[in-house]
Chains A and B, each alone.
Chain A
Amino acid sequence: MKVIGARKVKPHKIWRAPRAYKYYMKSYLILLPIFLFALFQGAFLPLNLVLLTVLVWTALRPPKESLLIAFFAGLLLDLGKGYLLGFSSFAFLVFSFTLISYSHRFDSSHPLFLTVFVFISSNLYSLVTNHFFNWPEGLVLAILALIFGFLGKFFLVEIDKEKIKLKI
Chain B
Amino acid sequence: MKKVLPSFLILILTSLFLILTDHYNLISPIQGFFQRPIIRMEEGIMSGYQGILGIIRGLNGQAREAETLRLEGSLRQLAVDQNQLNVCREENEKLKKLLGTPLPPTWKFLMAKVVGLSGEMRIDKGRQDGVKEGMMVISENILVGRVTAVDEFTSRVQKLDDVRTKISVVVKRPASAGASAGKPGGNIQARGLLIGQGGSLILDRVLQSEDIQKGDLVVTSGEEGPPRLDGGETGWLGDLVIGQVEEVLPKSAEVYKKAKVTPLVDYQKLRIVFLVVR
Tell me if B35 and A132 are in contact (CB < 8 A).
no
B101 at the interface (CB under 8 A from A): no
**Which residues of chain A are within 8 angstroms of B156 by Cβ–Cβ distance?**
82
**Which residues of chain A are within 8 angstroms of B14 by Cβ–Cβ distance?**
71, 86, 89
Tell me if B117 and A44 are in contact (CB < 8 A).
yes
**Which residues of chain A are within 8 angstroms of B3 by Cβ–Cβ distance?**
63-64
Report how far A43 CA is from B31 CA in the complex, Å: 18
B42 at the interface (CB under 8 A from A): yes
**Which residues of chain A are within 8 angstroms of B163 by Cβ–Cβ distance?**
130-132
Report how far A23 CA is from B156 CA in the complex, Å: 40
Q: A85's contact among B18, B149, B162, by CB below 8 Å, is which?
A: B18
Report how far A79 CA is from B11 CA in the complex, Å: 18
B110 at the interface (CB under 8 A from A): no
**Which residues of chain B are within 8 angstroms of A67 by Cβ–Cβ distance?**
4, 7-8, 11
A71-B14, A82-B156, A90-B19 known; A39-B1 Cβ under 8 A: no
A84 at the interface (CB under 8 A from B): yes
A68 at the interface (CB under 8 A from B): yes
B41 at the interface (CB under 8 A from A): yes
Given contacts A43-B46, A64-B4, A71-B11, 10 further A-B contacts (CB under 8 A): A39-B41, A39-B42, A42-B116, A42-B122, A67-B4, A79-B34, A82-B35, A84-B23, A87-B15, A129-B119
Residue numbers of B with Cβ under 8 A of A are 1, 3-4, 7-8, 11-12, 14-19, 21-23, 27, 31, 34-35, 38, 41-42, 45-46, 49, 115-119, 122, 149, 151, 154-156, 162-164, 198
